[in-house]
Chains A and B, each alone.
Chain A
C-alpha cells in the first residue's frame, strides 16, 4: 500500500514569489492535514480538508491556502513568500480521524525562501 506522497521534495524560491505543494494521500483516506515544521516550533497546524471541504484552520495568514480535490489529493499554496516561510511542509492523511485518530505523514516538501 503506497504511503503519503508529497511533491516536490525540495524547492527554492525568492521573496515575493508563490509556491504550490502537492499531497497524494493513502488510497481511501479522505482527510488531509497540512503542517509547517520549523526548528524549535515543532509542527504548526495549517489546515485540514475532509471530502473537499476545509474542516479546520490554524493561525496562519491568508497567504496560506489550500484545497482538496474529489480524489482526496490536496494542494497548498503560499503567495507572496517571505523569508520566514522557509520550512518543511508536511502533509498527513487519515481515513477518518474521528474514529482512529492516527495521522500518516509524508516525507515533506522542504521550502527555502531566499
Chain B
C-alpha cells in the first residue's frame, strides 16, 4: 500500500519567515495530495490540496508543489504568523482509495 514520509518532524521559524515541509510517497498511482492543519485539541482541517495533473497551487500565503517524477510534494508557507503554529500533515491517495498520512510536522512560529 501507499507509504508517505514527511520531514521535518519539528520546525521552528521566526514570525515573517517562510516554512517548508516536504513529503514523499511510494505509489506512483497516487493522484491526490492534500495538506491538513491540526490545532491543539481539534481534528485536522484541509488547508490546500493538489491533484496529479497540476504541478503547483497557491492560496494566499500557502502553496503546494508536486514533482510526480520524484514522487514528492511540498508545502510552502510564506510570511508566517503565530497563528500558523500547529501540526501539519501531508497525505496521498488514489482515486477513492483510502488516504494515507505522513507522521506530521509540528510548526512553531516565534513572535
Interface residues in A, total, Cβ within 8 A: 26
Complex partner residue of A42 from B89, B93, B97, B98, CB under 8 angstroms: B89
Known: A102-B46, A105-B45. Contact between A42 and B96, CB under 8 A?
no
In the assembled complex, B42 has its CB within 8 A of some CB on chain A: yes
Chain A residue nearest to B91 in the complex (CB)? A43
Q: How large is the interface on B (under 10, 10 to 19, 20 to 34, 35 or more residues)?
A: 20 to 34
Report if A4-B43 is in contact (Cβ < 8 Å); known contacts: A45-B98, A97-B93, A101-B49: yes
- A58 and B104 within 8 A (CB): no
Verify if A90 is at the interface (C-beta below 8 Å from B).
Answer: yes
- Closest B residue to A9 by beta carbon equals B41
By a beta-carbon cutoff of 8 Å, the part of chain B in contact with chain A is 1, 6, 9, 32, 34, 36, 41-46, 49, 89, 91, 93, 95-104
Q: Please give the residue numbers on chain A whose beta carbons come within 8 Å of chain B beta carbons, in ascending order.
A: 4, 33, 35, 40-45, 48, 55-56, 58-59, 90, 92, 96-98, 101-103, 105-108
